[in-house]
Structure 1
């Protein structure tokens, strides 16, 4: 089960990268479109008539952030109860907590744009937590597969 834990941790980290790439694609595409004469207003945002290179990035970021990332976060937390190594539940709990906060910030930042800064900063925190958790699972797996020490140590060859 440690392998499942490790894979889910890496998938969560990968999702942070996908999220960053998607929103960057969307924003750079939007600014390029506006600089080329495009106009975006409330009516344009509510219709599906606004088309520019990168518009799909907004959709990917939104759907990924509200569906895929939370699913991976929940599966990661569940797997932590079966991974059976010190810190597994704590790291997965921290990751899941960050995912919940990320979703909330993503929703509320539409009303309070300054929350977007915290949303971006905590995404980096989630990336680090997921990578550390994956690494700890790898170390625990390697330690468990090492042969038990018999207590007798051979002298090193000089």
Structure 2
């Protein structure tokens, strides 16, 4: 389960990179489209008529951020109970809480745009937490020795 935990944690970190790339693609595509004469208003946002290079980035960022990233974080948290290394649950829990905060910030940033700065900063926190969790799962397996009282022999427990 440590390997599964490690893969999920690295996958969560990779998803942060995918999210950053998707939103950058979308915003740069939109700004280029506007610079070339495109006009964006509420009606355009709500229709499928506006097409520019990068429009798919908005969709990828939204769906990935609200479905895939939370699902990975939840599965990581569940797996953490079986991973059997120190603080596995704590790191996975921190990742899950960070994802919940991140999703909430993404949603509320549409009402209060200044929250978008926190949304970007918390993404970096999630990246670091996921990488630390993955590295912790990569650490050495601790070996404890105990003495069998009846035989006096030492037994290793992993």
Secondary structure of the structure 2 residue equivalent to 1:13: helix
What is the aligned partner in structure 2 of residue 98 from structure 1? 98
What is the aligned partner in structure 2 of residue 57 from structure 1? 57
What is the aligned partner in structure 2 of residue 71 from structure 1? 71
* Structure (1 or 2) with the greater helix fraction: 1
* Structure (1 or 2) with the greater strand fraction: 2
What CA RMSD, in Å, does the superposition of the two structures yield over aligned residues?
A: 1.3
- TM-score (normalizing by structure 1): 0.89
Q: What is the aligned length?
A: 145
CA displacement 1:32-72 (0-9 Å, x = unmatched):
00000000000000101000000000000000000000000
What is the aligned partner in structure 2 of residue 153 from structure 1? none
After TM superposition, what 4+ stretches of structure 1 lie above 2 angstroms from structure 2? none
Within 2, Cα distance between the matches of 1:143 and 1:51? Answer: 52
- TM-score (normalizing by structure 2): 0.89
* Runs of at least 5 residues in structure 1 that lack an aligned partner in the other structure: 149-158
What is the aligned partner in structure 2 of residue 45 from structure 1? 45
What is the aligned partner in structure 2 of residue 28 from structure 1? 28
- Answer yes or no: is 1:128 the counterpart of 2:90: no
What is the aligned partner in structure 1 of residue 156 from structure 2? none
